[in-house]
Structure 1
Amino acid sequence: MKKIAYFLSMLMLLTAIAPAAMAKDGSADKEPSPEEQARLEQLDERVQEIKDMDLRAMDKEERKEIRNELRDINKEAKALGGGVYISAGALIVILLLLILLT
């Protein structure tokens, strides 16, 4: 039984850290450079400007352009930000294994 629990815990550990290993050019391991940080702040300011807009006053085409711009900003922010993500299911399984093994 301990072998199975050990195997499952190692499997979940490797599953949890796989996104960091698969990140492009090790971007998950480093802090953003000052230029990247400045660009992230610019993107955040633009998102705040869009949130403050009255979208009901715009016509359909303008809203579509804003929506596309937000999608592009989101993609760029994800590319610049990096990070390690653990799914909720993997987190629950890891916690359960830790509780059961202690």
Structure 2
Amino acid sequence: MKKVTFYLMIMVLSLSVLPTQVFAAEKNPTTISTTPKEVPAEVKVLLNRLDEIKAMDKSEMSRTEKKELRKEVRAIKTELKSTGNGVYLSVGAIIIIVLLLILLL
């Protein structure tokens, strides 16, 4: 009985090693062209304003002026995030997608 399990293990290991060596051939690298996307004018204006705020000397400003600048920076950042072209999925949607993949495969 020990010989049978030993031979079975050897056979399984040999079958799992052989296909990986066959597919280990070197492939030609593909070149990816990185063309920068054009930034819309509104986004450029917001980014320029953020750069201006960063370059300001805030040491001479009063507390209320600094507070207004922080509010402005937060507003600009939220506006920049909303202009992004991202796809957002909720947790429920992800769970449904995973369940469908499990059931269909």
Instruction: Please indicate the TM-score interval, normalised by the length of the shorter structure.
Output: 0.3 to 0.5
Larger Rg: 2
TM-score, normalised by the number of residues in structure 2:
0.44
More RCO (CA 8 Å, sep 6+)? 1
